[in-house]
Chains A and B, each alone.
Chain A
Amino acid sequence: MTMLASIALVLLVLSNIRLLGGSRLGTLIQTVAIQGVILAFLPLFAHPGGGLNYELLAMAAATGLIKGLVLPRMLTRAVRDVQVRREVEPIVGYSTSLLVGLAALAVSAYLGWKLSPAEPAVSPLLVPVAIFTVLVGLFLIMTRRKALTQVVGYLVFENGIYTFGVSLAYRQPLLVELSVLLDVFVGVFVMGIIVFHIQREFDHIDADKLSLLRDGESQEEHQ
Chain B
Amino acid sequence: MAAIILLIFAPLLAGVINRAKAFFAGRTGQPLLQVYFDIAKLLRKGVVYSRTTTWVFRAGPIVSLAAVLCAACMIPLGGVRALMSFPGDFILVAYLLGLARFMTVLAALDTGSAFEGMGASREVQFAALTEPALLLALISIGSATGDWSLHEMFAVVNAHAWAAHGAVLAMATVALLAVLLVENSRVPFDDPNTHLELTMIHEVMVLDHSGPDLAFIEFGASVKFAMFAALLSGLIVPVRTGLAWVDASAALAGLFAVAVVAGVIESCMARLRILRVPQMLVAASVLAGVAILVALAQGVAP
Chain A contacts to B: CB under 8 angstroms: 2, 6-7, 10, 13-14, 17, 21, 94-95, 98-99, 101-102, 105-106, 109, 113, 120, 123-125, 128
Q: B283 and A109: CB pair below 8 A?
A: no
Interfacial chain B residues near A124, Cβ < 8 Å: 297-298, 300-301
Chain B residue nearest to A20 (CB atoms) is: B286
Q: B287 and A109: CB pair below 8 A?
A: no
Q: Can you sample 8 A-B contacts with CB below 8 Å?
A: A17-B286, A109-B297, A123-B297, A124-B298, A124-B300, A124-B301, A125-B294, A125-B297
**Of the residues A7, A105, A123, A125, contact of B289 by C-beta under 8 Å:** A105
Interfacial chain B residues near A99, Cβ < 8 Å: 282, 285-286
Chain B contacts to A: CB under 8 angstroms: 167, 171, 278-279, 282-283, 285-287, 289-290, 293-294, 296-298, 300-302
Mostly, the A contact residues are: helix
Given contacts A124-B300, A124-B301, contact A105 B286 (CB under 8 A): yes
Q: B279 and A94: CB pair below 8 A?
A: yes
Q: B293 and A125: CB pair below 8 A?
A: yes
Chain B residue nearest to A126 (CB atoms) is: B297
Chain B residue nearest to A2 (CB atoms) is: B301
With A6-B167, A13-B290, A124-B301 already in contact, 18 other A-B pairs whose C-beta atoms are closer than 8 Å: A10-B171, A10-B294, A17-B286, A17-B287, A17-B290, A21-B283, A99-B282, A99-B285, A101-B286, A102-B282, A102-B286, A105-B290, A109-B293, A109-B297, A120-B302, A123-B297, A124-B298, A125-B293
Q: B297 and A95: CB pair below 8 A?
A: no
Q: A98 and B297: CB pair below 8 A?
A: no
Q: B290 and A14: CB pair below 8 A?
A: yes
Interfacial chain A residues near B283, Cβ < 8 Å: 17, 21, 98
**Top 5 A-B pairs, shortest CB-CB distance:** A98-B282, A124-B297, A124-B300, A125-B297, A124-B301
Name the residue among A94, A106, A125 with the largest chain B CB count within 10 angstroms: A125
**In the assembly, what is the distance between CA of A2 and CA of B294, in Å?**
13
Q: B279 and A98: CB pair below 8 A?
A: yes
Q: B297 and A102: CB pair below 8 A?
A: no
Interfacial chain A residues near B285, Cβ < 8 Å: 98-99, 102
Q: B167 and A109: CB pair below 8 A?
A: no
**In the assembly, what is the distance between CA of A95 and CA of B276, in Å?**
9
CB of B292 to closest CB in A, whole Å:
9
**In the assembly, what is the distance between CA of A151 and CA of B302, in Å?**
38
CB of A90 to closest CB in B, whole Å:
13
Interfacial chain B residues near A13, Cβ < 8 Å: 290, 293
Chain A residue nearest to B132 (CB atoms) is: A102
Q: A95 and B294: CB pair below 8 A?
A: no
Chain A residue nearest to B277 (CB atoms) is: A95
**In the assembly, what is the distance between CA of A6 and CA of B298, in Å?**
10
Interfacial chain B residues near A21, Cβ < 8 Å: 279, 282-283
CB of A214 to closest CB in B, whole Å:
37
**In the assembly, what is the distance between CA of A105 and CA of B297, in Å?**
13
**In the assembly, what is the distance between CA of A109 and CA of B294, in Å?**
10
Interfacial chain A residues near B282, Cβ < 8 Å: 21, 95, 98-99, 102
**In the assembly, what is the distance between CA of A21 and CA of B287, in Å?**
12
